[in-house]
Amino acid sequence: MKRRTLTTQEPVKKTHKAPSIPNALLPLSATADLALLKRPQLAKAINVSPRTVDNLQRRKVIPLVRISPRCVRFHLPSVLAALRKFEVREAGR
């Protein structure tokens, strides 16, 4: 009867491909234009807190896509266009 010996194997590296969060300051590719972001992803992309995103959503400042009553997504180019309307430009300088 042959005995099996246990050998130590090197751990298998699992790579997790999380979707990248676009930075609002960088130009977006055509495929990223179709992406819908969750609230924390949008907050990170526009450099605000998730609570601020909630407040902007509640005041209807930013557009959103309501998939179901509890599932809300945001289209980053549309949100940026809506926020540009509130941009204050300094005059006389």
pTM greater than 0.75: no
Which helix (H) or strand (E) element contains residue 54?
helix 50-58
Q: How many C-beta atoms lie closer than 10 Å to residue 58's C-beta?
A: 8
Chain centroid to Cα 43, Å, comes to 7
β-sheet bridge partners, residue 74: 37
What is the tens place of the pLDDT at every residue in 66-83?
A: 999 999 999 999 999 999
Q: How many C-beta atoms lie closer than 10 Å to residue 22's C-beta?
A: 21
- Residue 93: its pLDDT value, please? 62
The answer on pLDDT for 57 being more than 90 is yes
Place of tokens 């050998």: 7
